[in-house]
Amino acid sequence: MKSYEGNRDLNPTPAICSDCACSTPTVTCTPKPLDLDTAGCATQKGFATQPTPGQCGPLSPPSGVTSYQAGAPIAFTGACAPSGGAATLPPPDWGGTGLACGGGGLGGGCGNKAACAAVSGAPFGSGLCIYRSGDLACPGAFATKHLYVNDVIDTRGCGVCTCGGGSATCTATTTLFSDGACATSLTDVPNDGSCVNSAAASSIKIAITKSGSCPSDGGMPKGTLQEGPSTTTVCCIP
């Protein structure tokens, strides 16, 4: 029957932290005006404010306009919400364990003032042992000392996950139409400063693609796993 169990030589395994992540930020793209130019965008004749993405907007270019261009849209990004950093705490990993058993039964036949006790089988030692709480000196014939730890102090965890400033990209393309209802397209004008030659347009429509992200940080293991102050001394006959 088990009467005592303790441990020694703690391996202080750290917490296991789940990866930090950041939500996708809100991205707003503001398109720049569409420049109305002469051939090869040599001379600007005017400009047009671009409509809401996906909507058809009227266009009345002045005489002599045969090319178009627009700069890249301006990107604005909001904040990101962090997640992750959840802690998983591995159980204490000990280099050794001590187990004392008693109640094996006593028998006669060992002489005056003596008794026979059951002998433990492998992997246990067969010696007779005594134990008491605390780090103590072993008495008399019980010269072999084993010191075991009864508890641990566990302050392990994970740091807080954070998100850095967001970055965003906006790409846009303006389609020119020969009619006023965005029905018959003439050509596409990339909103990247490129000059596109085209016949006079009567309406335009802009399409915008946007994306954004935030860098994550934090969520690293913190704290320690230490042997507690409560100990037990086990003294055995060699």
Query: How remote is the C-alpha of 98 from its chain's centroid?
Result: 39
Residue 214 belongs to domain with CATH number: 2.60.20
Token pair for 135: 């780090």
Query: How remote is the C-alpha of 121 from its chain's centroid?
Result: 49
Residue 126 pLDDT: 67
Query: E-strand spans in 18-66?
Result: 21-22, 27-30, 34-37, 44-48, 56-58
Q: What is the pTM of this model?
A: 0.72
At 50, which amino acid appears? Answer: Q
Q: How confident is the model at residue 3 (pLDDT cuts 50, 70, 90)?
A: confident
Number of structural domains found in the chain: 1
Query: 73 in a domain, yes or no?
Result: yes
pLDDT in tens, 49-107: 999 999 999 999 999 999 999 999 999 999 999 999 999 999 999 999 988 877 655 55
Residue 238 pLDDT: 82
| CA-based end-to-end distance of the chain | 22
Query: How remote is the C-alpha of 8 from its chain's centroid?
Result: 33
pLDDT in tens, 196-208: 999 999 999 999 9
Domain residues for 173?
A: 21-84+163-218
Query: 9 in a domain, yes or no?
Result: no
In the 8-state DSSP scheme, what is residue 192? Answer: S
Q: Which of 25-39, 64-78, 98-112, 142-156 has the lowest mean pLDDT?
A: 98-112
The CA radius of gyration of the chain, in Å to the nearest whole number, is: 40
